[in-house]
Amino acid sequence: MRGRIIALVLSIAACTPAIVPPPSTTPAPQSEPVAVQPTVQKLVLKKTTFKKIIGWSGDRHDQVIATFLRSCAKINKISADIPLGAVGGVAGDWLTPCQAAAAVPVGNTQKARSFFEAYFQPYLATADGSPEGLFTGYYEIELKGSWLRKAPYTTPIYERPPELVDANLGEFSKDLKGKRLSGKVVAGRFVPFDDRAAIEAGALAGRGLEMIWVDSAIDAFFLHVQGSGRVVMDDGSIVRIGFAARNGHPYHSIGRELIKMGELTRERVSMQSISAWIRDNPERGAALMATNPSFIFFRVVDGALKSLGKEQGPIGAQGVPLSPGRSLAVDRRYLPLGIPIWIDTTDPIDPGEPLRRLVIAQDTGSAIKGPVRGDLFWGFGAQAATRAGLMKQPGHYFLLLPRK
């Protein structure tokens, strides 16, 4: 729901920074740099120890085991020799840790912590040597809707148009590995897909692509930002919808736009303040939302996904249900999905309080870009919405890689 090339050295000496290379079926020689297409920033890892990670011993590591096992179920289906991104080794490296995780007793914090310490090596992640990055939050938004267009349900949520084509440019040139484009074919030419302004002006109207109609264009916009949500239908039923595709246009922050306009200060920008401004300025708000050309298409997620009697979260980019407070969206150009990450930031409600915990990379996002960048999933409900809306915290993180 939330995707994204670098240069690296595969062998990482103790306390010596290393630049991480893109995935390759042939391992690079140890200590020898591998040059690839340059980017703005490089992911550089520095080996460390769990004893040096502040707050490590105080977390409830048992609470993340089930989340990790869901990622393991996906990784275990991958051929053992397939690389997991630039830093994840190959899928076979994860087989032993995943098997060991399944044997950790439920609710045993000490044994869960010992498991991660035994099977993983921590590395401080940096962007060109700088460890500080940005952490934001997201949640599962609730909307009100109907299967049919009728007042007040007049804003459409679209399913994926059949003409939308995703092109993996790496299949055309190795220099473009990791680059993708989305568009459509018109008169034999591959051209950009319609942007948000064109779609909201009716570019897709009348084709039967309207999946659900909701009662708020503002809520629909933030659904696109969050990437998933649940819709309370007019008949009382609840439908969960999730990410299906994006139109290929870059994400543009309307919060930054409001700062440029002088309407909000950087300190006051949050999902709540942006939403309030749009509601207070409906005409200007509609024009503001149209400045973000990115547009998301959705699909209905069957059922409420229950496990052991408890409802699970929406499906993330890895194809597994997200865990509130334990699932992180990352930039997939740098980090593989399924990797455990220790985040060290501050609480969005009380920035004076540290927020340190173990999470699993299970999602992506169009606004999540950079070697040290995370978007924490907070779950569903009013408290989750508040934390997600306010979260814009500096911080750093440690990657946990299989010791093999």
364 has a pLDDT exceeding 80:
yes
Q: Average pLDDT of 220-227?
A: 92
> Residue 365 falls within a domain, yes or no?
yes
* Both tokens assigned to 67: 């989340």
106 plus 221 within the same structural domain: no
At 59 the pLDDT is 97
User: What pTM did the predictor assign?
Assistant: 0.77
Rounded Cα gap, residues 145 and 151, in angstroms = 10
Rounded Cα gap, residues 172 and 176, in angstroms = 8
DSSP 253: -
> Residue 3 falls within a domain, yes or no?
no
What is the tens place of the pLDDT at every residue in 153-164? 999 999 999 999
Q: Average pLDDT of 324-335?
A: 96
291 plus 358 within the same structural domain: no
Say if residue 252 is exposed, middle or buried (CB neighbours under 10 Å; 0-12, 13-18, 19+).
middle
> Residue 179 falls within a domain, yes or no?
yes
Query: Number of folded domains in the chain?
Result: 2
* CB within 8 Å of 143: residues ≥ 6 apart: 214, 215, 216, 219, 220, 223, 229, 230, 231, 232
Looking up tokens 């990379």 gives 361
310 has a pLDDT exceeding 60:
no
* Both tokens assigned to 365: 């996002």
Mean pLDDT of the chain: 87
If one counts every other C-beta atom within 10 angstroms of the C-beta of residue 324, the result is 19
At 105 the pLDDT is 96
What is the tens place of the pLDDT at every residue in 227-257? 889 999 999 999 999 999 999 999 999 999 9
188 plus 262 within the same structural domain: yes
Q: Provide the CATH number for the domain around residue 95.
A: 2.40.40.10
7 has a pLDDT exceeding 70:
no
232 plus 115 within the same structural domain: no
At 326 the pLDDT is 98
> Where among 268, 301, 334 does a domain terminate?
301
Rounded Cα gap, residues 341 and 64, in angstroms = 11
CA angle 325, 327, 331 (to 5 degrees): 130
At 94 the pLDDT is 97
* Both tokens assigned to 261: 């306009």
41 plus 150 within the same structural domain: no
| Domain containing residue 151 | 139-301
124 plus 165 within the same structural domain: no
188 plus 244 within the same structural domain: yes
> Residue 171 falls within a domain, yes or no?
yes
Question: What are the C-alpha distances in Å from 217 to residues 23, 143, 157, 273?
Answer: 41, 10, 10, 16
Q: Provide the CATH number for the domain around residue 237.
A: 2.40.240.50
> Residue 314 falls within a domain, yes or no?
no
171 has a pLDDT exceeding 90:
no
Is residue 62 very low, low, confident or very high in pLDDT (cuts 50, 70, 90)?
Answer: very high
Looking up tokens 């393991």 gives 72
296 plus 328 within the same structural domain: no
> Residue 1 falls within a domain, yes or no?
no
> Residue 239 falls within a domain, yes or no?
yes
338 plus 207 within the same structural domain: no
> Residue 9 falls within a domain, yes or no?
no
116 plus 230 within the same structural domain: no
242 plus 372 within the same structural domain: no
Rounded Cα gap, residues 229 and 381, in angstroms = 11
- The alpha-helical segments, DSSP class H, found in 125-231 are 196-198, 217-226
Residue 162: cis peptide before it, omega within 30 degrees of 0: no
247 plus 184 within the same structural domain: yes
